[in-house]
């Protein structure tokens, strides 16, 4: 199936999903979030695919949610925004197959959340991470981040919104490795293919245990967008 803002390619047992809004730094618009949800739903049902790699087109992984869509108070838009947010997060949180994030450039806000909800993260040397949206009211996903890097560091990043580079991300365990930008796609596929060597039924059992072990608190779309304040307000 063809999507407007998402590229989907199958390589043996690995599906490569590429966020394809490079002119918007792959901001996670309503349409893109819906396409990711729909695509992952199809991959869930396809037993020929064992692992998913998620990457971004152009120089950014994802700059986060599309700010142009944040502050409209039109009821139909708010409803679509909240529903797409819930579907997107819950799909990623409960996706039953391993996911690998190939992160180049900025992974900000919702882009950081997307990376955190993957199982393995490989970063290029120019990758940067932060959640600046907290400054105008959008909470980050504390639980999944704390599970990866520990509660103290997660509190620091979630509450301050400060930016960290690839080397610090590697030092604190947010990413598994840091590679030159031109090697990132190949390295992500090496990791994905290594994971895919295991039987799918076994991978799904392990992923199920990962999901079941962590009872993350999810802030619903309604709660997220109720607290938003336009920048400078």
From start to end of the chain, where are the E strands?
Answer: 6-11, 14-19, 51-56, 99-103, 106-108, 120-124, 128-130, 164-165, 177-179
Return the pLDDT at 136.
76
Residue 31 is assigned to a structural domain of this protein? yes
Q: Is the pLDDT of residue 46 over 70?
A: yes
157, 164 Cβ separation under 8 angstroms = yes
Dihedral pair phi/psi, residue 136, rounded to 5°: -125, 25
Average pLDDT (16-36) is: 97
**What pTM, to 2 d.p., does this model score?**
0.92
Question: Does 231 map to a domain?
Answer: no
- Residue 81: inside a domain: yes
Count other C-beta atoms under 10 Å from residue 32's C-beta: 24
Does residue 233 fall inside a structural domain? no
Report if residue 1 sits inside a domain: no
- pLDDT tens digits along 60-84: 999 998 877 776 668 887 788 888 8
Domain encompassing residue 51: 6-199+208-226
Give the count of domains, the chain: 1
In a domain, 40, yes or no: yes
Residue 129 lies inside a defined structural domain of this protein: yes
- Residue at token pair 């400054």: 135
- CATH number at 89 reads 3.90.226.10
3-12, 68-77, 83-92, 179-188, range with the lowest pLDDT: 68-77
The answer to whether residue 110 sits within a structural domain is yes
């Amino acid at each position: 199936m063809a999507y407007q803002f998402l590229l989907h390619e199958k390589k043996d047992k690995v599906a490569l999903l590429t966020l394809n809004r490079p002119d918007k730094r792959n901001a996670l618009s309503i349409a893109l979030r819906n396409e990711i949800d729909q695509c992952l739903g199809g991959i869930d049902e396809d037993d020929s695919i064992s692992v998913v790699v998620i990457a971004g087109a152009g120089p950014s992984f994802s700059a986060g949610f599309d700010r142009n869509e944040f502050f409209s108070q039109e009821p139909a838009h708010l409803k679509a925004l909240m529903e797409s947010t819930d579907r997107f997060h819950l799909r990623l949180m409960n996706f039953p197959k391993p996911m690998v994030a190939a992160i180049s450039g900025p992974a900000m806000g919702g882009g950081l959340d997307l990376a955190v909800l993957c199982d393995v993260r490989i970063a290029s040397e120019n990758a940067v991470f932060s959640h600046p949206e907290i400054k105008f009211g959008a909470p980050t996903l504390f639980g999944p981040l704390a599970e990866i890097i520990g509660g103290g560091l997660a509190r620091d990043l979630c509450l301050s919104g400060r930016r960290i580079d690839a080397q610090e991300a590697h030092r604190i365990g947010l990413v598994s490795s840091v590679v030159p930008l031109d090697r990132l796609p190949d390295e992500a596929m090496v990791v994905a293919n290594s994971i895919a060597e295991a039987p799918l039924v076994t991978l799904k059992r392990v992923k199920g245990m990962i999901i079941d072990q962590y009872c993350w608190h999810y802030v619903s779309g309604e709660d997220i967008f109720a607290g938003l304040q336009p920048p400078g307000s």
